[in-house]
Structure formats: structure tokens, C-alpha cells
Amino acid sequence: MIGPRRIIMALAFPLALSGCVTGADYSRNEAGFISVANKTASVEAKETVWIQNQNQARSAGAQVKSLLARTKPLDVDTAVQIALLNNKGLQAAYADLGDSAADAWQSTMFINPTVSFGTTGIGTPELQAFKTIEGMITTNILALATKSRDVAIADTRFRQAQLTAAVRTLQVAADTRRAWIGAVAAWENVGQLQRAQATADAASELAAKLGETGAMTKGAQAREHVFVAEIAGETAKARLAARLAKEELTRLMGLWGSELDYQVPNSLPPLPKSVAKRDTIEAEALRNRIDLQVAKLELEATARFYGLTEATRYVTDLEILTGFETEREIEDDEKKTRTTAQVELEFAIPIFDTGKARMRKAEVAYMRAANLLAEKAVNVRSEARSAYEAYRSNYDIARHYRNNVVPLRAKVEEESLLTYNGMITNTFELLTDTRDKINSILLSVNAKRDFWLAEANLAPAIYGGGATNASAETEVAAASGSGGGGGH
């Protein structure tokens, strides 16, 4: 039989061909997550965790309960922090990061050699005088030759997974911020409609009394009564929209059970005195957009794979077989043993498949990745410009309603009331002016909401993580309806 030393040398032969590679960087439980947390903190200044055991889950749950208990009503920053700690979809994204780390770790490991043993002459008396024992170790040489490239590709994919997890984190933060704005604006609209309801009720009662005295026709009374009914319907719709908007915020924060008893503010914050100037927002976006970095890594990985495909173009399965053969003879009651080492090389002959199809596939994949990267760069610049344009324009529109439209409507109503008291104008004109003022206030609330949504979209435009164009803002505004209010 062959000695143990020879077997160890044969097993070590593949290792000598490719050098030593370690997977220590990928084997940790939180491999790559520190980078994700740092990128998130640099944008949102919030803490995020990767929950992997019961102790971490209990700690995060306690932190969420503490934030809900001490922040009443719930402000936007606290809502974002709760979402980053408690959103289960985000934890699933971090699990994808762990899966990628495991793949990268696996790539650093060598393919296990295959060991086989065999013998002849067992159980046959006439063959006992001559026995052969064979052993063979099979190793894929081509896999060893391309080992460093495999590791490089896996590492690139791992870095992509890190950036993808960071994008997902920023997306959850941005979605939560937008949902909080939508919920607060919705309840603010409910409050405005409730005040309008009180005014309409008073007008309806006045119409009824005037009808009793004969000063108002039945048709005019009906117009006032239907206005009350319409306001009641609009208030109910707004309250439904507000509840649904709050549920969207609840889902993003991952709350359930007793945690649902939280309140949002009665109204959105007032407009700032001025808007921030971002003259270099395109350059900032090109420098910081994480999804653009993901596209660059995709091109890098494809390029590496292209080189790997070229290296294995003609030979895709090359194996070296190292082993031994031991023969034992018994002659004149004397045992003779002879051991012979052997090496075999096994590979496929590229007669029919010369690898041209694989090369073409790799070239097409590379060009696709290059064009997607170029498209992403164009889109990033456009999205940054659109986000800032929406931010500036919505600020001007909201300020216009606040400074001009609402004060003028209030002035018109005030003058109508004075002339009504002086018996100059009639009741119909006063009620019409009151309705117009209510509509202007609702438009002002919605304009303020649109500004804060546009402001929330600036960070995704620069760093990634959410819809950033003007059409997206319009869709969010339409989806949130005309609701608003406080303490809900």
C-alpha cells in the first residue's frame, strides 16, 4: 500500500497550484453590514441594525417601544428611525447580503478532490496469490487555474450586494418620510374640512330660518343644504384617505398590536424662510448615487466574467488524476509488493464546440451592462435636475398660496361679512365667499404637502433610494387624497 506521506502530498498538489486564499472577510455573521450602516448614517443620520438572533430582536423591539412612548405625536425623524429598526422587508434585504457573503466565502474554498480506491482478487482463492490495489485522486485543474478570477467576481458581486442593501435602506427611509408627510397632510385636510363643516351647518341653519320668514326661496335653501351634504361627504372621504395614509406609514414602520396606538401631528411644519441652493446637484448625484455605483460594479463583474469566459473558451473541463497502483504477489510462500505512482490528464476535445457561442454571449452581456450604465448616468442627471426643479417650484407655489391666495380670500370674506351686516350684500354672496375661502385653504394645505414631498425627494435624487421625478411627486400627492388632521 502507498504510504500516508504520499497521499498527503497528492492531496496537497492542487493547493500548490493556486496559492492560499482566505475567506475570513466573508465568514463573519455581519459581513459587509458595517459598510451599509455607515452609508446610511452618512445620509439619514439614523441607526440601522441587522437582526440575526433573539437577543438582537428583543433589543430592537424595546428600542421601538421606547421611541413610540417618548415621542407624541410621532415626528418624521422618529418614524424613519423606527422603520430602519423594525421594517421586516429591510431585514430580508440584509439576509440577501449575508447570502452574497456566503457565496463569496464559498468562492475562496478549493474544490474537494475526489478519492477512489479499488482492489482485485478478493474472495477468489486462485487469485489470492496475485492482488492489485488501486487508488486515485481527481482534481479539476481548470478550476484551480481560474481560482483568482472566480474570487474576484464573487467579491465584486458581494460589493454589489452591499450597495444594494444600502439602496434598500435609503429607500425604506425615503418611503417612510414620504408616508409620514402624506399622513400628516391628510389629517390636516380633515381638520380643515371639519371647520368647513361647522361653517356650512351654520349657513344651512340660517337658510332654514330665512326660509321660514319667506326671505329665501326653497331652491336657495336646497342649495345650502346640499352644500352641507357635500361637505359631509368630502369630510368622510378625507378621513378615509387619512386613515389609509396612516396605515401605509404603519406598514413601513412594521408596527402591529398595541404599537398601533400612536398619533401624528395635526399639521405639517410651516414652510421654511428660504430654500436650499443646490447648483451642483447633478455632480453630487453622479458622485454619490449608490444605484449608479451598483451599475458600475455590474459592468466590472461582467468584464471579469468576460475574461473568465475567454480563459475557458476551448477547454471547459480539465482534470488531473493522481494516484497509485499496488501489486502484491505470493510466490513460494513469499510475498512481494510493488507500488507504482501514476498521473493522468483528462479533458474534453473541442471538436464541435469551440467556445464561439460562449464568447459571443459574454460580449453581448458586457455591451448590455455598458449601455445600462450609460443610461443610468443620463437618468441620474435628469432625476437630480427634476428633483431640484420640483423642490424650487413647489416652494414658490406653496408660498404663493400662503402669502397671496389665502389672505385675499380671507379679506374677501371679511369684507363680505361687513357689507352683509350693513345690509349691502345678501346671504348668498357671503356663503359663496366662505366656500371659496375653504377651497383656497385646502389648496394651500396640498401645496405645502407637495413642497415637503419634493424636499423629501432631494436626498433620493442625490444618494438613491426612491422615486425622485416630478411625476412621482404628483402620483404621491394624488394617492394621499385630500386628507389631514391631528392627533390620529
Whole-angstrom distance, CA of residue 449 vs CA of residue 185: 6
Whole-angstrom distance, CA of residue 136 vs CA of residue 150: 27
Q: Identify whether the C-beta of residue 196 lies closer than 8 Å to the C-beta of residue 229.
A: no
- The letter for the amino acid at 38 is N
One pLDDT digit (tens) per residue for the chain, 488 residues: 334 344 333 333 333 333 344 455 666 667 778 888 888 888 888 888 999 889 989 999 999 999 999 888 999 999 999 999 999 999 998 988 888 888 788 777 776 667 666 665 555 555 454 455 565 656 565 566 667 777 888 888 888 888 889 999 999 999 999 999 999 999 999 998 888 777 777 666 766 776 777 766 677 667 667 777 878 888 899 999 999 999 999 999 999 887 788 999 989 999 999 988 888 899 999 998 988 888 888 888 887 776 655 544 444 444 555 555 555 555 556 666 666 666 665 555 566 655 677 777 777 888 888 888 889 899 999 999 999 999 999 999 999 999 999 888 888 777 666 665 544 455 566 667 777 788 888 899 999 999 999 999 999 999 988 754 433 343 333 433 333 344 56
Whole-angstrom distance, CA of residue 335 vs CA of residue 329: 6
Q: Identify whether the C-beta of residue 312 lies closer than 8 Å to the C-beta of residue 174.
A: no
Q: Identify whether the C-beta of residue 158 lies closer than 8 Å to the C-beta of residue 32.
A: yes
For residue 422 the three cell numbers come to: 350693513
The DSSP secondary structure of 24-82, one letter per residue, reads HHHHSTTTTHHHHHHHHHHHH--------SHHHHHHHHHHHHHHHHH-SSPPHHHHHHH
